[in-house]
Amino acid sequence: MTTESTNTDKDAVSANEESVINGEEQVVNAEQEPASDGETVAEVVSLSPEQEKIAELEQALAVAQATVADQKDSVIRAKAEVDNMRRRSAQEVDKARKFALEKFAAEMVNVVDNLERGLATIDAESEQQKSTFEGVNLTLQGLTSGLEKFGVKAVDPQDQAFNPELHQAMSMQEVEGVEPNTVIAVMQKGYELNGRLIRPAMVMVSKAKA
């Protein structure tokens, strides 16, 4: 074998060794490169059984928290509705208690009117009628006092400003020195029951000069 052929063989061996080395480097580089587009997401970010269990528990916890929030709102709304019903019931009971005697009081004030009219016809200065006057007057005072205990109050607007919510004008008249819309005479007293008008006062009202 000649020297040239020997050198040629050595060069071939060196080239093969270099190819092998380069191939190993390419394999190493290929292992270090990220996954290609063809690889699935599950192969890249696969979860362990423990991680999957934690994810399931977190999802169940979120659902439970949402359910609790909904139930809390329902309980608050139900409580508010119950409070409103209790308040309305209390108001209705209070009104029923205050105004249950409205019809009875309306009848009793007519009795008061009759006693007052009868008392006006008795001469208190007469010895013969004095005892009658005292008896009727005591009856009238007792009845009036009993009505006041149950919230019945007389409306006697003499010399007061006319109030259409409490008074009923029967006539109007010009009066010297009196302001217009002033009650100058009470023909029949009115009455209230716990602030509710059960009968307006019938009055005569002053008016301005023509």
Do 158 and 183 contact (CB within 8 A), yes or no? yes
Please report whether residue 122 resides in a domain.
Answer: yes
Domain of 147, CATH number, reads: 2.30.22.10
Q: Is 143 within the bounds of a domain? A: yes
Tell me if 181 is assigned to some domain.
yes
> How far apart, in Å, are the Cα atoms of 102 and each of 3, 58, 90, 106, 196?
143, 66, 19, 6, 9
| Residue 25 placed within a domain | no
Mean pLDDT over each residue of the chain, to the nearest integer: 80
The answer to whether residue 184 is domain-embedded is: yes
* Residue 43: per-residue pLDDT: 45
Helix, strand, or coil (residue 45):
coil
CA distance 42 to 39: 9
Domain count, the chain: 1
Provide the pLDDT confidence category of residue 97 given band limits of 50, 70 and 90: confident
103-142 pLDDT, tens digit each: 899 999 999 999 999 999 998 888 888 889 999 999 999 9
Across the range 17-38, mean pLDDT stands at 46
The CA distances from residue 142 to 26, 121, 159, 174, 198, in Å, are 122, 20, 27, 38, 21
Cα 208 to Cα 178: distance, rounded to the nearest angstrom = 9
Residue 27 belongs to some domain of the structure? no
Report residue 68's pLDDT band, with 50, 70 and 90 as the boundaries.
confident
Task: Please state the separation of Cα 88 from the chain's center in Å.
Answer: 11
Contacts of 190 (CB under 8 A, 6+ apart): 154, 155, 156, 157, 166, 167, 168, 197, 199, 200, 201, 202
Confirm whether 127 is domain-assigned: yes
Across 11-25, 81-95, 110-124, least confident range: 11-25
Whether residue 197 is contained in a domain is answered as yes
| Residue range(s) defining the domain that contains residue 130 | 98-207
